[in-house]
């Protein structure tokens, strides 16, 4: 394989299959060509056209008098192979109207997860009210109430375990349809529960839907959206979770004074779940999942390839079987074939703990673990007392405090959505986690020796919430959705989801004993030390994936 560098004058044009309009005039440029191996008659000659910004556009100087050209060529491949033209080399042209629905319907799964968190806070109060519960079994013990509140968490844990061996069989689309059905049945069982046992069963079923939705939604969105907006859309899914929490708070505040209001709170999510299921039914399967099934030998290779082309055409709003979609599918097949070249048609059950998949799990699983053990539930637990000590009247009303913090979370998450594909993943993580550590040490100092300065605690609280929502909140799920190789992506993400919900459960159960044993000041000091450890993890371990296609992440970062 050989490369030559040729300087070219401005009038040179290279048409791109991704653009219908003729390209604008370019500055003096570098024109790299790879010439096929003469021993391999099937090898081809390919060229990459790269503008050189150091040479003035339309300069009247002779080319030889222009600034000195500097360039590096980096290429690693087997002899006779070509570097495929990927999304990072040529940005895919798309219309926002074509990507809205493939994002919106899976993201409803996240909204319903957030809604359950918000609605449960009001439903727990309604259930225990002798006058407003509308039931004779309102006198719940602490254990029974804890099971009601955390029942969906147990279901999510179980769902993430169950989906591990069957995720590739179900596929992303069918998994989300199943999640929508579980949301519907769980919501109906809960809202019409005649007794505690049926209520707990409904909470468990709803939680199963959460487990499947939080696994399938980032998968489907990441595999179907253009790579240059993947970060924006996955982060926007986190915004839907925060929006769901706010909707849950709002419905709870409206129904809190109604007799049997908890039934309406839990039943409100059923129509949204029906919309999610019908929407996913109308969408095509993930093209990358179809190619995965083809590579695993689950059917006719050509048939799966044609289905993948058709699915991509539909997702991009193009005519069925168009040439651009066909070319993109061919490029995805190149990396997929190399992954399955010398391996078994289908990976082993434990393959996710080996090689590149293990590296991906360390990155993704580590992020969702630190997302939980840096103390987010604990900080929010103290939000009411902190605001009350600062003299804010809203602190007297827990619902209002929750709404205020929820609105702030929504605003900060929007910043991450807007900037993640511009700044990248690492800058947001490093900056956000640094702010989290600082806020936790400030809260510890407040409870130790700064008790006379409540505004310090308020500032630390808002700093924590804001930094969390631009870093661990959206970026962890984004990295999980894109870091795993296609071969083990389904199983890898299910393990990451299991890690997330498992660590959430541990932190939730350990919070009260730790608070009693350590006190608030030492508890925040402990979380601050964990946040510093997570910052080191991000700086040393977590790579930058901005602008890379999923295939490039697999080939350049994991191998």
Does position 122 have pLDDT exceeding 60, yes or no?
yes
Does position 411 have pLDDT exceeding 50, yes or no?
yes
Backbone angles phi, psi at 241, to 5 degrees: -65, -45
pLDDT at 221: 92
What's the average model confidence in pLDDT over 147-153? 86
User: Largest alpha-carbon pair distance within the chain?
Assistant: 92
Q: What is the rounded CA–CA span in Å between residue 1 and residue 317?
A: 38
Helix ranges (DSSP H) in 128-226: 142-162, 167-191, 196-224
Tell me the pLDDT band of 303, cut-offs 50, 70 and 90: confident
For 430-478, write each residue's pLDDT tens digit: 999 999 999 999 999 998 888 788 888 888 988 999 999 999 988 998 8
Q: How many residues does the chain have?
A: 559
- pTM for this one? 0.73
Residue identified by tokens 């804001």 is 466
**Higher pLDDT pick, 413 / 392:** 413
For 160-176, write each residue's pLDDT tens digit: 888 888 888 888 999 99
What's the average model confidence in pLDDT over 181-207? 94
Which residues, including other chains, have CB under 8 Å from residue 60's CB and lie 6 or more apart?
Answer: none
* Structure tokens, 241: 């979770």
Helix ranges (DSSP H) in 24-95: none
**Higher pLDDT pick, 337 / 302:** 302
For residues 8 and 33, is the Cβ–Cβ distance under 8 A? Answer: no
């Amino acid at each position: 394989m050989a490369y030559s560098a040729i300087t070219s004058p401005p009038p040179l044009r290279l048409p791109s299959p991704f653009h219908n309009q003729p390209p604008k005039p370019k500055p003096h440029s570098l024109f790299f060509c790879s010439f096929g191996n003469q021993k391999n008659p099937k090898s081809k000659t390919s060229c990459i056209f790269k503008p050189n910004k150091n040479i003035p556009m339309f300069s009247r100087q002779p080319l030889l008098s222009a600034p000195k050209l500097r360039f590096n060529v980096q290429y690693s491949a087997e002899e006779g192979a070509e570097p495929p033209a990927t999304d990072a080399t040529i940005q895919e042209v798309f219309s926002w109207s074509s990507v809205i629905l493939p994002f919106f319907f899976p993201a409803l799964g996240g909204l319903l997860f957030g809604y359950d968190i918000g609605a449960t806070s009001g439903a727990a109060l309604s259930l225990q009210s002798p006058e407003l519960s509308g039931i004779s079994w309102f006198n719940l013990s602490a254990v029974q109430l804890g099971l009601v509140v955390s029942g969906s968490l147990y279901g999510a844990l179980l769902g993430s375990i169950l989906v591990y061996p069957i995720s590739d069989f179900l596929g992303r689309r069918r998994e989300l349809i199943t999640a929508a059905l579980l949301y519907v049945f769980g919501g109906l069982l809960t809202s019409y529960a005649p007794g505690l046992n049926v209520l707990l069963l409904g909470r468990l079923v709803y939680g199963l839907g959460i487990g499947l939705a939080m696994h399938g939604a980032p998968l489907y969105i990441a595999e179907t959206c253009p790579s240059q907006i993947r970060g924006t859309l996955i982060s926007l899914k986190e915004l839907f979770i925060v929006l769901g929490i706010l909707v849950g708070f709002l419905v709870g505040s409206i129904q809190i004074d109604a007799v049997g209001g908890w039934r309406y709170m839990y039943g409100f999510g059923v129509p949204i779940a029906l919309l999610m299921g019908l929407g996913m039914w109308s969408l095509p399967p993930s093209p990358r999942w179809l190619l995965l099934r083809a590579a695993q030998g689950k059917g006719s290779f050509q048939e799966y390839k044609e289905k993948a082309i058709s699915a991509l055409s539909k997702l991009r709003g193009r005519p069925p079987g168009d040439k651009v979609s066909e070319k993109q599918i061919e490029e995805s097949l190149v990396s997929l074939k190399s992954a399955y070249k010398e391996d078994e048609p289908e990976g082993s059950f434990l393959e996710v703990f080996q090689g590149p998949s293990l590296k991906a799990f360390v990155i993704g699983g580590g992020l969702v673990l630190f997302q939980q053990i840096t103390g987010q539930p604990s900080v929010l637990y103290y939000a009411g007392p902190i605001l009350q000590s600062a003299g804010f009247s809203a602190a007297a009303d827990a619902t209002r405090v929750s709404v205020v913090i929820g609105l702030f979370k929504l605003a900060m998450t929007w910043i991450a959505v807007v900037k993640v594909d511009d700044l990248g993943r690492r800058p947001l993580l490093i900056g956000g986690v640094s702010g989290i550590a600082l806020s936790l040490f400030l809260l510890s100092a407040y409870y130790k020796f700064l008790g006379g300065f409540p505004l310090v605690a308020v500032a630390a609280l808002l700093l924590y919430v804001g930094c969390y929502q631009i870093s661990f909140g959206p970026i962890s799920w984004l990295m999980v959705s894109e870091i795993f190789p296609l071969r083990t992506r389904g199983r890898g993400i299910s393990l990451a989801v299991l890690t997330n919900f498992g660590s959430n459960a541990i932190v939730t159960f350990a919070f009260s004993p730790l608070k009693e044993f350590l006190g608030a000041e030492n508890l925040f000091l402990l979380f601050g030390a964990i946040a510093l450890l997570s910052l080191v993890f991000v700086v040393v371990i977590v790579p930058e994936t901005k602008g890379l296609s999923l295939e490039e992440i697999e080939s350049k970062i994991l191998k």
